[in-house]
Structure 1
C-alpha cells in the first residue's frame, strides 16, 4: 500500500499546484474547502490532474520538490502522458552570445 503521494492540482486560474501527502483524499478535500495552501485557497475550485504513488512519504516529498522546479510545459507533458517529450523540454535552449 502506498505511503506517499505526489500530486498536481489545476487551479481555477489555470495554474498548477504541486504537493505531497500521506492521505490524498483528505488533502484534496482540504484544498477544496480552502484549508490547503495559500495559492489554492485563492483559486478555488481545484481539480486533481496528476498523481504518483510512493512507498514512503520522503520519496513523494522529494518528487514534489523536483516537479515544483519544472516548467509549465514539462508539468503538462507529465499530466497529459507525453513523457517522450520530457527530454526535449529538459534541454536548456538559452543562447549565449559568443565573444
Structure 2
C-alpha cells in the first residue's frame, strides 16, 4: 500500500579500465521521500541527501555509487543504504536508500 513509486536501480559493481561497471537495471516499487538531510557516506564524509527511497528488503541491493533513475527520468547516485530488519518482530522490515 505504501509502495506508490517506482525507481530504476543499476547496482554498482566496481571499476574497470574504462570506468564504472553497473549491473542490470532493476525496477523497484518504493516509497519516495524528497527531503534534504545531512547523512554520512561510507567513507565518513558528511553529504547532503536530497532524496531517500524505502522498499522491501529483498527488492534490490543498491551499494554506494549505484545509479538510480527517479520518476520524471531524473538520475541520481546512491550515497548509502541501511537495512532495517525487525528480526521476526512485527516491525516493518525495509531497505532505506539515501540518494544525492
Asked if TM exceeds 0.5, the reply is no
Structure with bigger RCO (C-alpha 8 Å, 6+ apart): 1
Larger Rg: 1
Looking at secondary structure, tell me which structure has more helix per residue.
Answer: 1
Q: What TM-score comes out, normalization by structure 1 length? A: 0.29
Q: What TM-score comes out, normalization by structure 2 length? A: 0.29
